[in-house]
Amino acid sequence: MATAAVAVARGAGARGAAATLRGGCGTAARGRPRAGPSRPLCTAPGTVPDRKRYLWERYQEAKRSTDELVPSIMNNLLNPDAIFANNEMSLSDIEIYGFDYDYTLVFYSKHLHTLIFNAARDLLINEHRYPVEIRKYEYDPSFAIRGLHYDVQRAVLMKIDAFHYIQLGTVYRGLSVVPDEEVIEMYEGSHVPLEQMSDFYGKSSHGNTMKQFMDIFSLPEMTLLSCVNEYFLKNNIDYEPVHLYKDVKDSIRDVHIKGIMYRAIEADIEKYICYAEQTRAVLAKLADHGKKMFLITNSPSSFVDKGMRYIVGKDWRDLFDVVIVQAEKPNFFNDKRRPFRKVNEKGVLLWDKIHKLQKGQIYKQGNLYEFLKLTGWRGSKVLYFGDHIYSDLADLTLKHGWRTGAIIPELRSELRIMNTEQYVQTMTWLQTLTGLLEQMQVRPDHDLAADPDWLVRADAGSQRCRVTAGFAGVEKGKKGDERNDQKFLQCPVWKLVPHRPEPDLLPEAPVAICRHLHGVSELPLELRCQPHILPQEDSPAARTSRVV
């Protein structure tokens, strides 16, 4: 609850500035009377010089309001080590706890991704006959993040947001950024329709392949794809992008399937597995309180056994009521045809028919429907933890009503960036400017005859409008007149800005506004030079190397 309170308090601070500016005529900022003219804020002056001064006064007032809010927000920062809840849940109602293994119970060191990258690169050379020169490429842990999309046909890696907009500046062909103009021409804009994107299971209604990488193990795969693409492009080698994607995918898969990764980790377990001293204490406490526990993982039996012995102890199996290995998720959650098989102490598969899942025994494969039938563990009394948003969590919640917990290691570094003063200052200023924009706009039924120098363009079928202000000489005419639009676009004082900018345009809104406001001659030189841009951490190059 403390964490939620902090989050609300922080959000209220940034939004408070915007709300104050939107609050209506004569609303006081932070409980104090406004400085400046006594007329209502939603009434603009008549002449062009007055309008410039009016805009500048509102801008200055918004800037002061932001500067006053930042210190209070800095005193209510988010805890990077906190647990965040998207829904109400009482742990007293949870009777069964489930866990994934990789990156949930066990975390790996930075050496693991280098191991996977090098092994897959060697498989490309030795088994798929790729040029030996690609061996010069090394794994770069800062190149890619989870969640990126890869267009298989065009061989480009990019970030697409939740609204299916391509984030310009994050599109890479090989190791080089694709110019924004080329991206827009390639996709006929920056929006990718839903039907043109593959879902997590690789299906697309239009036959397109836009693969999304959501697994932490996929980071080496994205980097290897880009490195090989880079080699072919730099050496003017004609190649088929679809074949490259398939070969890299197969090589990464073979690193797991052929046991290359498992054998390397087992041979030097201290190098690759991060020891967590509290893991056993947490599991033992749950068991002491009578909670049931189960483990479902795609990793093999011997590998899981050695890892759990290292972080929990030799008796780790006594803590779990059910242990399932090589489950082949996400098929485990959707395929009803595969029965469970028992695995003996030597790792040999037995042919016995399974009528009950016994404590201390290890099982292989199976499916969730059989699991629910044999255990009776259904509904909201089950809480399952995993690191994969889709294969571990989404299906379980949507289809079976389980509670789920997402283990997101990237969140800690993201929160640390969000807690920096530069980030807080920038985001507070961005939200304040958004409120200022909304306040400066005119209702769709504004009387143009009485005030012809304000132009209102109302979007068809909605109340959203766009406004130009602060210039004279616009012909009177109907709303949306093309002649007015042309003159408006040439206006140096105010630029056409969406009433509510789309997500991919939002960071540019304050830059555009300030650029035009800084063109006003009354601005002091030092303010005219202020960039008002996002911090360096949010530059286009940085956005491809971390979650935003």
Catalytic residue flag (residue 93): no
> Omega into 330 within 30° of 0, i.e. cis?
yes
Full-model pTM: 0.70
DSSP string computed for 51-115:
HHHHHHHHHHHHHHHHHHHHHHHHTSPPPTT----SS---GGG--EEEE-TBTTTBEE-THHHHH
Model confidence band, residue 110 (pLDDT cutoffs 50, 70, 90): very high
The sign of the torsion formed by the CA atoms of 165, 170, 176, 177 equals positive
Higher pLDDT, 50 or 183: 183
Which residue among the candidates 67, 93, 102, 485 is catalytic per the annotation? 102
pLDDT at 339 over 70: yes
List the one residue out of 373, 364, 363, 369 whose CA is nearest residue 337. 369
The sign of the torsion formed by the CA atoms of 88, 415, 218, 150 equals positive
- The model's pLDDT over 253-308, given as tens digits with 9 standing for 90+, comes to 999 999 999 999 999 999 999 988 889 999 999 999 999 999 999 999 999 999 99
The one-letter amino acid code at 206 reads H
Half-sphere exposure (Cβ direction) of 184: Cα atoms closer than 13 Å: 6
Higher pLDDT, 386 or 394: 386
- The model's pLDDT over 417-467, given as tens digits with 9 standing for 90+, comes to 999 999 999 999 999 888 888 877 754 444 434 444 443 333 333 333 333
pLDDT at 539 over 60: no
List the one residue out of 43, 101, 61, 34 whose CA is nearest residue 362. 101
Catalytic residue flag (residue 352): no
Which residue among the candidates 81, 100, 288, 352 is catalytic per the annotation? 100
DSSP string computed for 353-396:
PPSS--TT-EEEE--HHHHHHHH---GGGEEEEES-IIIIIIHH
Q: What's the mean per-residue pLDDT of the chain? A: 75
